[in-house]
Amino acid sequence: MNLWEYPRPVYSINQFCQPHCSELAGQSFFFVMDSGYDCRLDITGADTCMWSIAGQEPQEATYECLKGDDTTYLLDYDVRETLGTNNRVNHLYIIDMEQSLVTRLVCTIGCNPKFPNLVKSEVDFGAIKVEGKDLPFKRHCFTTDLLGTRVEWHWSTTMWTRHDYFSTAYYRITWPEDSSAAKNIGEPFLSLPSTDERAFYVKIKENMYLFCLTEELTERLLQGKTLFCSNNMAFLQNYDRMYHVGRTFGTINSNGNLLPCRTLFGAFGNPVSLSPEFLNAENPYTV
Amino acid sequence: MNLIYDEGGVYIRNLANTADKHGIGQYCFARNFELAGSGYVISDGSAEYKCVFINRETMTLNDAEHYYECLKLVNSTYFVRFGTDVLVLDLEQQMATLILNGKTVCGVPFSSGFRPEGKRHTDAGSDMVGTSVSWVLGCGRFVNHDYFTEDKVRVGWSPKSEETEVMPCRAVKIKGAVYLVVVEGGVPDGVCAPAGTSRVIMLQDYDRMIFVGCVTGAGFDPVMISGYARPLG
């Protein structure tokens, strides 16, 4: 048989996802955060952890972990007490063991009274306390490094998309006609003035960045009419190797039923040329 | 830094690049360290291989010390290269396959005094016959595989992928859609694989259509590889 035809499940952006990494099991971290809300994270098992913020009672969670390189981890979990509510919370950490630095992303659903599915993202930078070592002064930081980058990401055997990082607060997406993205995610954009979306960019180290987008403009304009309702997507991008790993957190609209959406993903990249019309189009969401 | 001129003559950055310095190792996943500190005896019924992962980079096989690199393909399934030899450790099914000096040994790993009479990975037989796939290892770097018999594969490396050669190959079914494939033989001049390549070992997942593996040969250090599949032709 041609194994290309193997009867696999339907994959979306998760087909090329790298496997979950459990090598942090048994380790404990104390993150000293710039916000003042320090955090303790004990990795108690292959997919279980205990976390506490600012000395509060530790809480158990089920985590997922992917690696951006040998020493950089993307680890996230949903706050268990918020599961099954309309106010789900997800904590995501970029744990940078090489530099003893950490970035924490707290994503919360249900903060906006008009748009209850919107995901609010809050970033906090900090350092990992290491016994016998001074805390580093430097931090992961917001960056303009990615501005000008145009990249094609291969998510699965049928889907590839093209990103243009043209602003520190937005990104722009397109896809070629032979990509399944045209069929699977393209339709809502036909009703929108552009594919621009809210985003921010954090430098982790040379050639490694956290790119984070939230499908906020889509949700504001097409509330309830799209498959994905304001997902937050966090990409740990490795431009040394040209791949990324990441996770989504948000809500999926399944025939009118709003269900939690949390997916790990990964993709392989390559440089791409994009048309001047696409690159030079105005961002209709800004003055 | 990859810089390009915009229309106004101003340099703008573009971090997207073809990572040529990594060659066919470009898309290689980060190393996995989950095995560090663990040890197994692998038995095929006639011989035992004592394998100890001392730390993240050093292991012993029957007390001989090796530098090793480990890549994880799917949960609890690891591809370990030490020297030019390979161990596929499938902890989900408690099975292991060693490729030692080119010989394939399918056995059962155990870590305590209990010696299980477990099942083993088996030869893939005709499972792969008829499979045609292009494995992408990096930007513009790929290898085409056309498995047209149980023990022969037609191979074409970029950028001369149309210049195919028939190579001996053997495959072991690891589980589900996961196969361990060993392709023996050299590569033509001017392709993306290193000159001197003599063996390519890949752990291929036809469900997710990704792979991990290594390329070994004379005159270069073994290269760890990963990547994704696209249809051939």
- Beta-carbon separation of A2 and B131 below 8 A: yes
pLDDT of residue B113: 62
Q: Which two tokens stand for residue A84?
A: 């099954």
Say what the ipTM of the complex is.
0.95
CB pairs under 8 A between A and B: 126
CA distance readout (Å), B207 to A15, A134, A222, A245, B12: 8, 46, 34, 18, 40
Tokens, residue A27 = 């380790």
Residue of B nearest to A20 (CA): B75
- The H or E element containing residue A245 is strand A243-254
Measured over the CA atoms of residue B206, residue B208, residue B209 and residue B214, the dihedral's sign is negative
Rounded Cα distance, B166 and B145, in Å: 10
Rounded to whole angstroms, the Cα distance separating B82 from B200 reads 14
CA distances, A65 to each of A43, A147, A240, B59 (Å): 11, 28, 20, 25
Interval B54-86: pLDDT, tens: 999 999 999 999 999 999 999 899 999 999 999
Closest Cβ opposite residue A4 in set B30, B131, B139: B131
Partners of B3 in beta bridges: B13
User: Nearest to residue B127, comparing CAs of B107, B146, B147?
Assistant: B147
Give the separation between CA B17 and CA A268, rounded to whole angstroms. Answer: 12
Q: Is the dihedral of CA B212, B217, B223, B227 positive or negative?
A: negative
Per-residue pLDDT, averaged over B169-186, amounts to 96
3-state SS class at A278: helix
Mean pLDDT across the stretch B186-204? 97
Distance CA A244, CA A77 (A): 19
Q: Do B209 and A16 touch (CB under 8 A)?
A: yes
Q: Which residues of B touch A242 (CB under 8 A)?
A: 16-19, 26-27, 138-139
Contact (Cβ atoms closer than 8 angstroms) between residue B81 and residue B69: yes
Using the predicted structure, report yes or no on whether residue B118 has a pLDDT greater than 80. no
Q: What is chain A's length? A: 287
Interchain CB contact of A148 with B (< 8 Å): yes
DSSP labels, A187-243: GGGGGSS-S-EEEEEEEEETTEEEEEEE-HHHHHHSTTSSSEEEEEEEEEEETTTTE
Check CB contact under 8 Å for B229 and A70: no
pLDDT confidence of residue A187: 79
pTM tops 0.90, yes or no: yes
Contact between A3 and B179 using a beta-carbon 8 Å cutoff:
yes
Set of chain B residues whose Cβ sits within 8 Å of the Cβ of A18 = 29-30, 72, 210
Instruction: Out of A16, A20, A154, name the one closest to residue B208 (CB).
Output: A16
The residue written with tokens 């003599």 in the block is: B198
With beta carbons under 8 A apart, name residues in chain B contacting A16: 208-210, 228
Dihedral of CA B205/A63/A242/A161: which sign? positive
- Nearest to B143, CA basis, from B98, B186, B192: B192
Residues A201 and A168: beta-carbon distance below 8 Å: yes
Which run of H or E residues covers position A280? helix A276-280
Chain B hits for A272, Cβ within 8 Å = 16
The C-alpha torsion from A20 through A26 and A30 to A33, rounded to 10°, is 0
pLDDT, average across residues B126-146:
97
b/e burial code for range A28-51 (CB count within 10 A of at least 16 → b)? ebbbebeeeebbbbbbbebbebeb
Which residues of chain B neighbour A9 with C-beta distances below 8 Å? 207
Token pair for residue B190?
Answer: 């001017």
Which helix H or strand E contains A42, and what residues bound it?
A: strand A39-43
- pLDDT over threshold 50, residue B1: no
**Bridge partners, B167 (sequence order):** B153
**How far is Cα A69 from Cα B146, in angstroms, rounded to an integer?**
32
Cα distances from A71 to residues A45, A67, A99, in angstroms, run 19, 7, 9
DSSP state of B23: G
- Per-position pLDDT tens, chain A of length 287: 789 989 899 888 999 999 999 999 999 999 999 999 999 999 999 999 999 998 899 999 999 999 999 999 999 999 999 999 999 999 999 999 999 999 999 999 999 999 999 999 999 999 999 999 999 999 999 999 999 999 999 999 999 999 999 999 999 999 998 898 888 877 788 889 999 999 999 999 999 999 999 999 999 998 877 788 889 999 999 999 999 999 999 999 888 888 999 999 999 999 999 998 999 899 999 99
* pLDDT number for residue B17: 95
Contact assignment for A270 to B139 by CB distance below 8 Å: yes
Q: Is A67 on the interface with B (CB under 8 A)?
A: yes
DSSP tag of A5: G
State whether A16 and B228 contact (CB < 8 Å).
Answer: yes
A247, A264 Cβ separation under 8 angstroms: yes
* Closest residue in A to B71 (Cα–Cα): A19
Q: State which residue of chain B sits closest to A15, comparing Cα positions.
A: B208
Choose the closest CB to B17 out of A2, A9, A239: A239
In this prediction, residue A54 carries a pLDDT of 86
Structure confidence at residue A256 (pLDDT):
82
Supply the pLDDT for residue A55. 83
- Neighbour-count burial of A94, counting CB atoms closer than 10 A to its CB (0-12 exposed, 13-18 middle, 19+ buried): buried
| Bridge partners for B51 per DSSP | B40, B61
Q: What does the pLDDT average to over B108-116?
A: 74
Of B2, B75, B131, the CB nearest to A20: B75
Pair A59, A45: CB distance under 8 Å: no
pLDDT score of B116 more than 70: no
Measured at the CA of B176, the angle between CA B173 and CA B179, to 5 degrees, comes to: 35
Q: Output the average pLDDT for chain B.
A: 93
Residue B89's nearest CA partner among B36, B28, B30 is B36
Strand partners for B152? B149, B168
User: What pLDDT, on a 0 to 100 scale, did the predictor assign at position A182?
Assistant: 83
Is the per-residue pLDDT at B225 higher than 50? yes
Contact B15 A6 (CB under 8 A): no
Query: Given an 8 Å threshold on Cβ–Cβ distance, is B206 in contact with A6?
Result: yes
- CB contacts, 8 Å: B75 with chain A: 19-20
A6 touches chain B (CB under 8 A): yes
Name the residue with tokens 């903060």: A111
Number of C-beta neighbours around residue B168 at 10 A: 11
Distance CA B216, CA B224 (A): 9
Euclidean distance between CA atoms A233 and A217, whole angstroms: 14
- pLDDT tens-place string over residues B88-101: 999 999 999 999 99
